Structure 1
Amino acid sequence: MSESPVSTLTREDSWAMLRDNEFGRLAFHLADEVHITPINYAVDAQGRIVVRTAEGSKLLGLTMNADVAFEVDEIDEHEARSVVVRGRARTLDGHEADETEELPLRPWVDTVKLNVVAISVDELTGRRFSLTRPWRHIRPEKA
Protein backbone atom coordinates (compact mmCIF):
# COMPACT_ATOMS: atom_id res chain seq x y z
CA MET A 1 0.00 0.00 0.00
CA SER A 2 1.36 3.46 -0.87
CA GLU A 3 2.10 6.19 1.64
CA SER A 4 -0.77 8.59 2.38
CA PRO A 5 -0.59 11.92 0.53
CA VAL A 6 -1.80 13.65 3.74
CA SER A 7 0.29 13.83 6.90
CA THR A 8 0.12 15.71 10.18
CA LEU A 9 2.56 18.51 10.91
CA THR A 10 4.20 18.39 14.32
CA ARG A 11 3.21 21.03 16.84
CA GLU A 12 6.66 22.60 16.43
CA ASP A 13 6.35 22.69 12.61
CA SER A 14 2.86 24.19 12.89
CA TRP A 15 4.12 26.98 15.18
CA ALA A 16 7.12 27.58 12.90
CA MET A 17 4.78 27.98 9.94
CA LEU A 18 2.64 30.46 11.88
CA ARG A 19 5.73 32.47 12.85
CA ASP A 20 7.20 32.41 9.32
CA ASN A 21 4.10 33.88 7.66
CA GLU A 22 2.26 37.18 8.02
CA PHE A 23 -0.94 36.69 6.03
CA GLY A 24 -3.81 34.37 6.90
CA ARG A 25 -7.58 34.15 7.13
CA LEU A 26 -9.68 34.90 10.19
CA ALA A 27 -13.11 33.31 10.61
CA PHE A 28 -15.48 34.89 13.11
CA HIS A 29 -19.16 35.12 13.99
CA LEU A 30 -21.21 38.24 13.37
CA ALA A 31 -24.73 37.80 14.70
CA ASP A 32 -26.07 34.64 12.99
CA GLU A 33 -23.45 34.56 10.24
CA VAL A 34 -19.93 33.24 9.91
CA HIS A 35 -17.49 35.54 8.14
CA ILE A 36 -13.98 34.95 6.87
CA THR A 37 -11.51 37.67 5.99
CA PRO A 38 -7.87 37.90 4.91
CA ILE A 39 -5.70 39.49 7.56
CA ASN A 40 -2.11 40.39 8.39
CA TYR A 41 -0.86 39.00 11.67
CA ALA A 42 2.15 38.24 13.86
CA VAL A 43 2.79 35.76 16.66
CA ASP A 44 3.80 37.33 19.97
CA ALA A 45 6.06 36.02 22.75
CA GLN A 46 3.02 34.54 24.57
CA GLY A 47 2.15 32.41 21.53
CA ARG A 48 -0.88 34.48 20.58
CA ILE A 49 -1.85 35.53 17.09
CA VAL A 50 -1.98 39.32 17.07
CA VAL A 51 -3.80 41.45 14.51
CA ARG A 52 -4.61 45.12 14.09
CA THR A 53 -8.02 46.16 12.85
CA ALA A 54 -10.11 49.24 12.30
CA GLU A 55 -13.57 49.81 13.69
CA GLY A 56 -16.10 47.80 11.72
CA SER A 57 -17.80 44.45 11.34
CA LYS A 58 -14.70 42.38 12.17
CA LEU A 59 -14.14 44.14 15.50
CA LEU A 60 -17.85 44.06 16.28
CA GLY A 61 -17.99 40.33 15.55
CA LEU A 62 -14.95 39.62 17.74
CA THR A 63 -16.48 41.67 20.55
CA MET A 64 -19.86 39.92 20.31
CA ASN A 65 -18.42 36.39 20.10
CA ALA A 66 -14.79 35.72 20.94
CA ASP A 67 -14.69 32.22 19.38
CA VAL A 68 -12.63 32.36 16.18
CA ALA A 69 -10.71 30.21 13.75
CA PHE A 70 -7.56 31.24 11.92
CA GLU A 71 -5.80 29.60 8.98
CA VAL A 72 -2.51 30.04 7.16
CA ASP A 73 -1.43 28.11 4.05
CA GLU A 74 1.71 27.56 2.01
CA ILE A 75 1.89 25.88 -1.36
CA ASP A 76 4.62 25.04 -3.86
CA GLU A 77 4.95 22.67 -6.80
CA HIS A 78 5.17 19.55 -4.63
CA GLU A 79 3.19 20.10 -1.46
CA ALA A 80 0.71 22.25 0.39
CA ARG A 81 0.76 22.95 4.10
CA SER A 82 -2.08 24.28 6.21
CA VAL A 83 -2.30 25.28 9.86
CA VAL A 84 -5.65 25.90 11.52
CA VAL A 85 -6.05 27.53 14.92
CA ARG A 86 -9.15 27.65 17.05
CA GLY A 87 -9.17 30.08 19.91
CA ARG A 88 -10.59 33.12 21.61
CA ALA A 89 -10.02 36.71 20.59
CA ARG A 90 -9.87 39.72 22.86
CA THR A 91 -9.03 43.35 22.36
CA LEU A 92 -5.79 44.49 23.99
CA ASP A 93 -5.41 47.94 25.45
CA GLY A 94 -2.98 49.93 27.52
CA HIS A 95 0.33 48.26 28.29
CA GLU A 96 -0.70 45.02 26.56
CA ALA A 97 -1.40 46.82 23.30
CA ASP A 98 1.81 48.86 23.62
CA GLU A 99 3.86 45.64 23.89
CA THR A 100 2.74 44.65 20.39
CA GLU A 101 4.40 47.71 18.81
CA GLU A 102 7.60 45.68 18.29
CA LEU A 103 5.82 42.92 16.37
CA PRO A 104 6.22 42.79 12.57
CA LEU A 105 2.59 43.70 11.88
CA ARG A 106 2.78 45.15 8.38
CA PRO A 107 -0.57 46.06 6.86
CA TRP A 108 -0.84 45.64 3.11
CA VAL A 109 -3.41 48.41 2.87
CA ASP A 110 -2.63 51.94 4.05
CA THR A 111 -5.51 52.38 6.50
CA VAL A 112 -5.57 53.29 10.17
CA LYS A 113 -5.94 50.23 12.38
CA LEU A 114 -5.90 51.33 16.00
CA ASN A 115 -7.42 48.22 17.61
CA VAL A 116 -5.12 45.39 18.65
CA VAL A 117 -6.64 41.94 18.99
CA ALA A 118 -4.91 38.85 20.36
CA ILE A 119 -6.11 35.33 19.69
CA SER A 120 -5.28 32.83 22.42
CA VAL A 121 -4.68 29.44 20.84
CA ASP A 122 -6.89 26.66 22.25
CA GLU A 123 -6.37 24.16 19.42
CA LEU A 124 -3.67 23.94 16.75
CA THR A 125 -3.62 21.49 13.84
CA GLY A 126 -1.32 21.35 10.87
CA ARG A 127 -1.34 19.14 7.79
CA ARG A 128 0.88 18.53 4.79
CA PHE A 129 -0.54 17.45 1.45
CA SER A 130 1.65 15.85 -1.21
CA LEU A 131 0.46 17.18 -4.55
CA THR A 132 0.33 15.11 -7.70
CA ARG A 133 -1.60 17.62 -9.80
CA PRO A 134 -2.67 15.13 -12.46
CA TRP A 135 -4.48 17.85 -14.37
CA ARG A 136 -1.11 19.31 -15.40
CA HIS A 137 -0.34 16.22 -17.45
CA ILE A 138 -3.54 16.44 -19.47
CA ARG A 139 -3.40 20.12 -20.45
CA PRO A 140 -3.41 20.79 -24.17
CA GLU A 141 -0.13 22.05 -25.54
CA LYS A 142 0.03 25.77 -26.29
CA ALA A 143 0.37 26.60 -29.96
Structure 2
Amino acid sequence: METGVPSTGNLSHDACWELLAAGIVGRLALVVDGHPEIFPVNYVLERGSIVFRTARGAKLWEAEADEPAAFEIDGYDPRQEEAWSVVAKGGLAVISSQEEKDAADALHLEPWQPGVKGHYIRLTPRALTGRRFKVNRPDLWNTRANDARRSSFE
Protein backbone atom coordinates (compact mmCIF):
# COMPACT_ATOMS: atom_id res chain seq x y z
CA MET A 1 0.00 0.00 0.00
CA GLU A 2 1.92 3.12 1.17
CA THR A 3 5.67 2.98 1.09
CA GLY A 4 7.43 2.94 4.43
CA VAL A 5 4.26 2.09 6.33
CA PRO A 6 4.37 -0.93 8.62
CA SER A 7 1.78 -3.60 7.88
CA THR A 8 0.63 -3.68 11.49
CA GLY A 9 1.02 -1.50 14.55
CA ASN A 10 1.19 2.22 15.12
CA LEU A 11 1.42 4.45 12.08
CA SER A 12 3.98 7.21 11.74
CA HIS A 13 2.93 10.85 11.64
CA ASP A 14 3.63 10.92 7.88
CA ALA A 15 1.61 7.74 7.26
CA CYS A 16 -1.34 9.26 9.14
CA TRP A 17 -1.18 12.37 6.92
CA GLU A 18 -0.99 10.16 3.79
CA LEU A 19 -4.15 8.34 4.80
CA LEU A 20 -5.92 11.59 5.69
CA ALA A 21 -4.89 13.06 2.34
CA ALA A 22 -6.34 10.07 0.50
CA GLY A 23 -9.69 10.34 2.30
CA ILE A 24 -12.65 12.59 1.66
CA VAL A 25 -15.09 11.83 4.49
CA GLY A 26 -14.44 11.53 8.19
CA ARG A 27 -16.23 11.76 11.51
CA LEU A 28 -15.97 14.83 13.70
CA ALA A 29 -16.43 14.16 17.43
CA LEU A 30 -17.58 17.01 19.69
CA VAL A 31 -19.09 17.37 23.13
CA VAL A 32 -22.38 19.23 22.70
CA ASP A 33 -24.41 20.18 25.76
CA GLY A 34 -22.34 17.75 27.84
CA HIS A 35 -22.91 14.79 25.51
CA PRO A 36 -20.67 13.30 22.81
CA GLU A 37 -21.86 13.84 19.25
CA ILE A 38 -20.46 12.48 15.98
CA PHE A 39 -20.86 14.31 12.67
CA PRO A 40 -19.83 12.97 9.26
CA VAL A 41 -18.06 15.67 7.24
CA ASN A 42 -16.32 15.80 3.91
CA TYR A 43 -13.01 17.59 4.15
CA VAL A 44 -9.74 18.67 2.59
CA LEU A 45 -6.27 19.02 4.06
CA GLU A 46 -5.01 22.55 3.86
CA ARG A 47 -2.07 24.26 5.64
CA GLY A 48 -1.44 21.27 7.91
CA SER A 49 -5.04 21.07 9.05
CA ILE A 50 -8.42 19.51 8.30
CA VAL A 51 -10.93 21.92 6.77
CA PHE A 52 -14.67 21.41 6.28
CA ARG A 53 -17.73 23.54 5.63
CA THR A 54 -20.88 23.76 7.69
CA ALA A 55 -24.11 25.65 8.19
CA ARG A 56 -25.11 27.28 11.48
CA GLY A 57 -25.38 24.67 14.22
CA ALA A 58 -23.39 22.60 16.68
CA LYS A 59 -20.19 22.36 14.62
CA LEU A 60 -20.05 26.12 14.16
CA TRP A 61 -20.95 26.85 17.80
CA GLU A 62 -18.22 24.52 19.09
CA ALA A 63 -15.67 26.12 16.74
CA GLU A 64 -16.67 29.59 17.96
CA ALA A 65 -16.31 28.38 21.57
CA ASP A 66 -12.80 27.03 20.83
CA GLU A 67 -13.69 23.61 22.27
CA PRO A 68 -11.47 20.56 21.68
CA ALA A 69 -12.50 18.10 18.99
CA ALA A 70 -11.45 14.80 17.47
CA PHE A 71 -11.59 13.69 13.85
CA GLU A 72 -11.41 10.07 12.71
CA ILE A 73 -11.15 8.17 9.45
CA ASP A 74 -10.73 4.47 8.91
CA GLY A 75 -10.63 1.93 6.16
CA TYR A 76 -10.07 -1.61 5.07
CA ASP A 77 -7.71 -2.90 2.39
CA PRO A 78 -9.01 -6.28 1.15
CA ARG A 79 -5.82 -6.97 -0.85
CA GLN A 80 -3.69 -6.72 2.29
CA GLU A 81 -6.47 -7.99 4.61
CA GLU A 82 -5.75 -5.03 6.87
CA ALA A 83 -7.83 -2.38 8.60
CA TRP A 84 -6.53 1.03 9.64
CA SER A 85 -7.65 4.03 11.65
CA VAL A 86 -6.36 7.60 12.03
CA VAL A 87 -7.43 10.03 14.79
CA ALA A 88 -6.61 13.74 14.91
CA LYS A 89 -7.24 15.66 18.14
CA GLY A 90 -7.07 19.41 18.40
CA GLY A 91 -8.90 22.68 18.42
CA LEU A 92 -11.45 24.06 16.02
CA ALA A 93 -11.37 27.56 14.57
CA VAL A 94 -13.70 29.44 12.26
CA ILE A 95 -11.96 30.56 9.07
CA SER A 96 -12.83 34.17 8.36
CA SER A 97 -10.16 35.06 5.79
CA GLN A 98 -11.46 34.96 2.23
CA GLU A 99 -7.96 33.98 1.09
CA GLU A 100 -8.07 30.88 3.32
CA LYS A 101 -11.60 30.01 2.15
CA ASP A 102 -10.45 30.35 -1.46
CA ALA A 103 -7.48 28.06 -0.73
CA ALA A 104 -9.86 25.38 0.60
CA ASP A 105 -12.23 25.84 -2.35
CA ALA A 106 -9.27 25.46 -4.74
CA LEU A 107 -8.86 21.96 -3.27
CA HIS A 108 -12.48 21.23 -4.28
CA LEU A 109 -14.02 21.55 -0.83
CA GLU A 110 -17.71 21.56 -1.61
CA PRO A 111 -20.58 20.40 0.58
CA TRP A 112 -22.17 17.06 -0.17
CA GLN A 113 -25.40 17.81 1.67
CA PRO A 114 -27.87 20.24 0.09
CA GLY A 115 -28.16 23.67 1.63
CA VAL A 116 -25.90 26.61 2.24
CA LYS A 117 -22.69 25.68 4.07
CA GLY A 118 -21.09 29.09 4.20
CA HIS A 119 -18.96 28.59 7.31
CA TYR A 120 -15.46 27.14 6.98
CA ILE A 121 -13.98 25.35 10.00
CA ARG A 122 -10.36 24.33 10.56
CA LEU A 123 -9.26 21.54 12.92
CA THR A 124 -5.58 21.91 13.66
CA PRO A 125 -4.28 18.63 15.09
CA ARG A 126 -2.29 18.78 18.32
CA ALA A 127 -2.13 14.98 18.32
CA LEU A 128 -2.25 12.66 15.31
CA THR A 129 -2.25 8.91 15.81
CA GLY A 130 -3.04 5.88 13.74
CA ARG A 131 -2.76 2.16 13.62
CA ARG A 132 -2.99 -0.64 11.09
CA PHE A 133 -3.77 -4.25 11.86
CA LYS A 134 -4.42 -7.57 10.17
CA VAL A 135 -8.07 -8.60 10.38
CA ASN A 136 -9.27 -12.00 11.46
CA ARG A 137 -10.30 -14.36 8.73
CA PRO A 138 -14.09 -14.25 8.57
CA ASP A 139 -16.21 -17.31 9.21
CA LEU A 140 -17.76 -17.39 5.75
CA TRP A 141 -20.80 -19.26 7.04
CA ASN A 142 -21.57 -16.81 9.85
CA THR A 143 -20.16 -13.46 8.72
CA ARG A 144 -22.63 -10.94 7.33
CA ALA A 145 -22.75 -10.92 3.53
CA ASN A 146 -21.82 -7.22 3.40
CA ASP A 147 -18.71 -7.57 5.61
CA ALA A 148 -15.79 -6.13 3.59
CA ARG A 149 -13.48 -8.91 4.80
CA ARG A 150 -15.41 -11.56 2.85
CA SER A 151 -14.22 -10.29 -0.53
CA SER A 152 -10.60 -11.13 0.22
CA PHE A 153 -11.36 -14.67 1.28
CA GLU A 154 -14.10 -15.74 -1.14
TM-score, with structure 1 as normaliser: 0.84
Distance in 1, Cα, partners of 2:103 & 2:121: 12
The residue aligned with 1:66 is 67
Q: Show structure 1 runs of 4+ deviating over 6 A.
A: none
1:27 counterpart letter in structure 2: A
Give unpaired runs (5+ residues) of structure 1: none
RMSD of the alignment, in Å? 1.9
Q: What percentage of aligned pairs have identical amino acids? A: 35
- Are 2:53 and 2:110, in contact at CA under 8 Å, matched by a contact in 1? no
Whole-angstrom distance in 1 between the partners of 2:56 and 2:18 = 30
For residues 25-44 of structure 1, the C-alpha deviation after alignment (integer angstroms, 9 at most, x for no partner) is: 00012221121111100001
- Structure 1 residue 76 displacement after superposition: 2.9
2:90 maps to amino acid = G
Q: Does 1:79 align with 2:82?
A: yes
**Aligned residue pairs: how many?**
134
Shift of 1:61: 2.5
1:6 Cα deviation after fit: 4.8
Q: Structure 2 residue aligned with 1:98, among 78, 95, 102?
A: 102
Gaps of 5+ in 2: 1-6, 144-154
Deviation string for 1:7-30 (max 9, x for gaps)? 111211110000011100000122
Identify the residue that residue 50 of structure 2 maps to in structure 1. Answer: 49
The TM-score, its normalising length taken from structure 2, stands at 0.79
**Aligned residues of 1:29 and 1:65 also touching (Cα < 8 A):** no
* 1-structure distance, mates of 2:112, 2:76: 20
